[in-house]
Amino acid sequence: MAVAIGVAILATLGGLTTPALGFFPQRYVACHDEDRAAVTTTAAPPPPVQPRREASLLPLARKRAPKRLTIAPLVLIDVARAEPLPAQEPHPAAPPAPGPVAPTTQRMVMTEGRNTYRCVGIPRGTAGIGRVLSAPPGTRFYGRSWATPWRRTNMRAAGAFALGTAATALRRELERPILPGIDGYRLTEQLQLKLAAGLALADLGDLAAGPALLEFVRSRELQPYPLIWEDALDPLARLDPVRAQRYAIGALTRIANQPAEQPAEMRKLRGMVRKLLPLLTEPSPRALTVLRRLSALLVEPDGDPDGHEACLVLGARARLGDRPLLAELRPELAVELRTQRGVACYSELIGQVFPGRDPDELPALTHRHRYREILTLLRTMRDAERSGQHDPRYAAARKTLRPWLVKRSGEADVRGEVSHRDNNPERRALHLSALAFLGDTQAKAKLDALIRDPADQGTAPWLAAHQALVLELPGAADLAAARLRIAMSSITRRFTQRSWGSRGLVKVTEHVEVIDELARRGDPRFALGLLDRNVFAREATVLHLARLRPPQACAVVGQAAGDAEERSVQDAFWALSVLGDECRDTMGRLAQDQGQPTAVRGMALEALAMMRDSQVPALLVRSSTERRLKPARARAQVIYSARE
């Protein structure tokens, strides 16, 4: 019992950073037979009366009822006087408390069909999502034990499926004031609803919500529940980067003006600095001024940086183009680490001091084996030449870089010898990408083989596929699509210290990077991510699908669905409902194809029911003898006849 209560509390008050927060529905609990639920159950008939066996029973004396019944005396007991009782005199109501009176909201219960968008898909479920988001505060939902998580789930769906009609209700939730005196779990619920609304509005790109989102972030700056403030920075930065940087500069200035003396308060302010620095993306004199002040506060008397935050501040200064600091750091980091600052902050500074924007950085990049920055430099030079900038340093950089790469091909970290202790598959993928871009045909062949290798379950093939796309190597899109097909039945094993980034509630994994690049190129094969075994990849693909809506996505996914897992097929076909009738032909063909797996045929039948296709009744009758299709057939019947 205690475990169940704890799970319920976590489900109600848990943070929104949890991935896959009720987004993809479990098909076996998604649909409910509404007609059967409405039928009132009747009591079972009484069992037949058995004949009495007088010989085996002892005679008992029977009590006779009195001839005259009397009324028992009324006995009054002490009761709580919450309201007048019929047997007592009414008591006068207590006088109202002084001060403003909070408006009373009538709590209502929304009794709608139990089959929501999770069952009937999009767009049939769009109206239900709008009704949930437009319901007044305090509304309870029939069949939902917890109202707040259900609102948040619908907000997530509105943002993921690009339902622009929900923007007004989301802004209203974000702008709704919090009444004074609310605390505890009620306050947490309201804050999480506002955060969910902000995340959905950021997914929708609703610029009109920028001021309200900024006001929400400011109101939670130094309040309890710091997780709410930290999570709200992400939608603000995605929705309006200029407004987010302006806020970060102001918040960092307030932190610099009020240094904390207590250790606990200082740790809190340091954590705020760590969260605010990524919001500084454009060079700004005001930003550099406040960062220099913070550097002075976070440096010990002997010049040693005081903690990780001091290194992050130095890195932000270098990223924003602090020329005096760059003049000091470049000699320190280029060849040898001359200062304690360079040693302590090397990881935070090397990528900011030498980001790969200028050919003059090449000696330092090759000395430090900074492959990611080398690839950035190659793309920078390519884009500059395409725009008409012909710098003689570009040709000199290529002439220097290729021999260095060829010479390094024999080193243990990039040679590809799996048994060697220094083998680094990710670095090898980047090494081959750079050589292939510079025209090395052997490296290009090895890169293609790496991407197509189904036995390699590491992250190196994904890094190679991503670099092939961004470098625009020949056949890069075909290679990426082949890797996405491998991901349908393969689990990627990750051995790296590089952490995943995030975009709202979506984790940007190595799979997601490839999907993003295919979507950016307009290649409909990005939809293969719907069949990925990784749930992060499936969620990221839904966001692209709802915004691009390529009609070829149905054929792409349908053709490859036979090699995917059942859960991936269910999630993919459900998400494809956002395309409406575009998938009618594909789903009809899959539902009738006896050569397809049961999972594909069953989910195709459900997808046709989501479209209310006229051939669904005939297909239900035709498949009535197939026992394996029984669950999908029952759900299809419910979906086809649902009220939505």
- Which pLDDT does position 563 carry in this prediction? 93
Length of the chain: 644
- Which pLDDT does position 175 carry in this prediction? 95
In this prediction, residue 58 has a pLDDT band, given cuts at 50, 70 and 90, of low
Mean pLDDT, to the nearest integer, of 256-277? 81
In this prediction, residue 401 has a pLDDT band, given cuts at 50, 70 and 90, of very high
Residue that terminates a domain, selected from 239, 256, 285:
239
Q: Which of 267-276, 427-436, 481-490, 547-556 has the lowest mean pLDDT?
A: 267-276
Q: Which of 32-41, 341-350, 569-578 has the lowest mean pLDDT?
A: 32-41
In this prediction, residue 201 has a pLDDT band, given cuts at 50, 70 and 90, of very high
Burial zone of 643 (CB within 10 Å; 0-12 exposed, 13-18 middle, 19+ buried): exposed
In this prediction, residue 304 has a pLDDT band, given cuts at 50, 70 and 90, of low
In this model, does residue 393 exceed pLDDT 70? yes
* Residue 308 is assigned to a structural domain of this protein: no
- Which pLDDT does position 35 carry in this prediction? 54
Residue that terminates a domain, selected from 211, 239, 267:
239
In this model, does residue 346 exceed pLDDT 80? yes
Cα gap 278→237, rounded to integer Å: 9
In this model, does residue 200 exceed pLDDT 90? yes
Cα gap 146→32, rounded to integer Å: 18
How is residue 536 written in tokens?
Answer: 């992060």
Residue that terminates a domain, selected from 217, 239, 261:
239
- Which pLDDT does position 299 carry in this prediction? 76
Q: How far is CA 480 from the centre of its chain?
A: 23
Q: How many domains does the chain have?
A: 2
* Residue 277 is assigned to a structural domain of this protein: no
Q: Which domain holds residue 167?
A: 21-26+109-239
Mean pLDDT, to the nearest integer, of 264-280? 87
In this model, does residue 85 exceed pLDDT 70? no
Judged by DSSP in three states, 506 sits in strand
In this prediction, residue 180 has a pLDDT band, given cuts at 50, 70 and 90, of confident
Q: Do residues 110 and 637 make contact, with C-beta atoms less than 8 angstroms apart?
A: no
In this model, does residue 9 exceed pLDDT 60? no
* Residue 599 is assigned to a structural domain of this protein: yes
In this prediction, residue 293 has a pLDDT band, given cuts at 50, 70 and 90, of very high
Cα gap 534→536, rounded to integer Å: 5
* Residue 37 is assigned to a structural domain of this protein: no
- Which pLDDT does position 112 carry in this prediction? 74
Tell me the pLDDT tens digit for each residue of 424-462. Answer: 999 999 999 999 999 999 999 999 999 999 999 999 999
* Residue 101 is assigned to a structural domain of this protein: no
Q: Do residues 535 and 24 make contact, with C-beta atoms less than 8 angstroms apart?
A: yes
Cα gap 544→539, rounded to integer Å: 9
- Left, alpha or beta for 151 (phi > 0: left; psi -120 to 50: alpha)? alpha
In this prediction, residue 260 has a pLDDT band, given cuts at 50, 70 and 90, of low
* Residue 593 is assigned to a structural domain of this protein: yes
- Which pLDDT does position 377 carry in this prediction? 96
In this prediction, residue 13 has a pLDDT band, given cuts at 50, 70 and 90, of very low
Task: Compute the mean pLDDT over every residue in the chain, rounded to the nearest whole number.
Answer: 86
- Which pLDDT does position 96 carry in this prediction? 56
In this prediction, residue 40 has a pLDDT band, given cuts at 50, 70 and 90, of very low
In this model, does residue 3 exceed pLDDT 50? no
- Which pLDDT does position 61 carry in this prediction? 64
pTM for the predicted model, two decimal places: 0.84
- Residue 142 dihedral angles phi and psi, to the nearest 5°: -60, 130
Higher pLDDT, 485 or 138: 485
Cα gap 196→232, rounded to integer Å: 9
